[in-house]
């Protein structure tokens, strides 16, 4: 009986700590009243607020420079039927910087680029 108790305690500890262990790029998404949940398993490209200075962004969990984004996305989409990418941009990124990223994505065959937003909290 004590072994079952220990296992249950360990299970609870892992359940509580697992969501905290997710690491990623912190991006403050812009807000939209038309936000919806995403059903698919697309490729996520995150553009941080520092993109203007560093020209670096992330694909999934990997940080890459803008010049390498095309090849990395091409590899990620090679085995997928759906050639769409979701762009998570910080609210402080300029429209020109977003267009630079979209141009690189379109150059490698990305058919659709979706923008991630968060719902407006009222």
Domains of the chain: which residue ranges?
24-119
Indicate the CATH number of 24-119 among 3.40.640.10, 3.30.420.270, 1.10.287.130, 2.40.160.40: 3.30.420.270
Distance (Å, rounded) from C-alpha 25 to C-alpha 4?
38
Q: Output the tens digit of pLDDT for each of the chain's 122 residues.
A: 577 888 888 888 877 776 665 555 566 667 766 666 655 567 888 888 888 889 999 887 788 888 888 888 888 887 777 778 888 888 888 989 999 998 988 888 887 888 887 776 76
Max CA pair span of the chain: 63
Identify the burial level of 53 via C-beta atoms within 10 angstroms of its C-beta, where 0-12 means exposed, 13-18 middle and 19 or more buried: exposed
Q: What is the DSSP string of 11-45?
A: HHHHHHHGGGG-------PPEETT-----S--EEE
Structure tokens at 115: 């923008």
What pTM value is reported for the model? 0.63
């Amino acid at each position: 009986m004590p072994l079952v108790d220990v296992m249950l305690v360990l299970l609870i500890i892992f359940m509580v700590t697992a969501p905290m262990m997710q690491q990623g790029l912190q991006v403050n998404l812009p807000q939209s009243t038309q936000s919806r949940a995403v059903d698919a398993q697309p490729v996520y490209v995150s553009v941080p607020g520092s993109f203007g200075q560093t020209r670096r962004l992330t694909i999934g969990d990997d940080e890459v420079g803008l010049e390498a984004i095309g090849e990395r996305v091409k590899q990620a989409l090679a085995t997928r039927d759906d050639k769409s990418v979701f762009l998570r941009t910080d609210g402080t990124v300029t429209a020109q910087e977003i267009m630079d990223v979209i141009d690189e994505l379109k150059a490698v065959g990305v058919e659709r680029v979706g923008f991630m937003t968060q719902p407006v909290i009222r």
